[in-house]
Chains A and B, each alone.
Chain A
Amino acid sequence: EAQVTQNPRYLITVTGKKLTVTCSQNMNHEYMSWYRQDPGLGLRQIYYSMNVEVTDKGDVPEGYKVSRKEKRNFPLILESPSPNQTSLYFCASAPKGDYEQYFGPGTRLTVT
């Protein structure tokens, strides 16, 4: 089944404790992206990747890192999480950047 998977689905952590949210797609898509969703703000892009080893900042990259060592995986890293990073995070992939995007189920992160 073609899908985008994210792990974990739910995470509660404390300020400053490094965490990684994994994202994997099995559709051989070139493009992958991370978004955060906050009430009233819609989806805001954090980082995106046009292909392996090619990543770039989105609209709200501060406090986040990504890597794209393999085509299928695009982990999101929070080196020192803060409470303002409490949000719902979505990973997405697409054949190319301006094509239909396929979304993962979301990761709800709470930073206390």
Chain B
Amino acid sequence: GEDVEQSLFLSVREGDSSVINCTYTDSSSTYLYWYKQEPGAGLQLLTYIFSNMDMKQDQRLTVLLNKKDKHLSLRIADTQTGDSAIYFCAESIKGGATNKLIFGTGTLLAVQP
């Protein structure tokens, strides 16, 4: 079945690195995404990784993909208070007429000053 799981909460100190983890079940995913939701706002795409890649780095963000274990992680270096938000991972499901994204439950990242 289609299922994407994340831990619900992560607390870090400002300046530390944050690592948000995600596991998914569908091995046919083509893209995996990380979205950020700030308080009172909609979701915005942070970054994505193609399923044939192991790692993608974009400034302070590093995405690691372990396709064998169906595990995706987002590392935020030098975490700032402005990074406090809910982070959602999502996998693309490609299945004929039902191509869609499946979202995880979201991880609330709290950055302590």
Question: What is A's interface to B at a CB cutoff of 8 Å?
Answer: 4, 31, 33, 35, 40-43, 45, 48, 50, 56, 90, 92, 94, 96-106
- B100 and A97 within 8 A (CB): yes
CA A56 to CA B96, docked complex, whole Å: 13
> Please, how many residues of chain B have a CB less than 8 angstroms from a CB on the other chain?
27
Interface of B, secondary structure class, is: strand
In the docked arrangement, what's the CA distance between A40 and B33, Å?
20
Known: A41-B105, A42-B106, A43-B103. A98 touches B42 (CB 8 A): no
Given the interface contacts A40-B105, A42-B105, A43-B88, does A100 sit within 8 Å of B100 by beta carbon? no
From residue 36 to 73 of chain B, which have CB atoms closer than 8 A to chain A?
40-45, 48
- Interface residues, chain B, with chain A CB atoms under 8 Å away: 6, 8, 30-31, 33, 35, 40-45, 48, 88, 90, 92-94, 97-101, 103-106
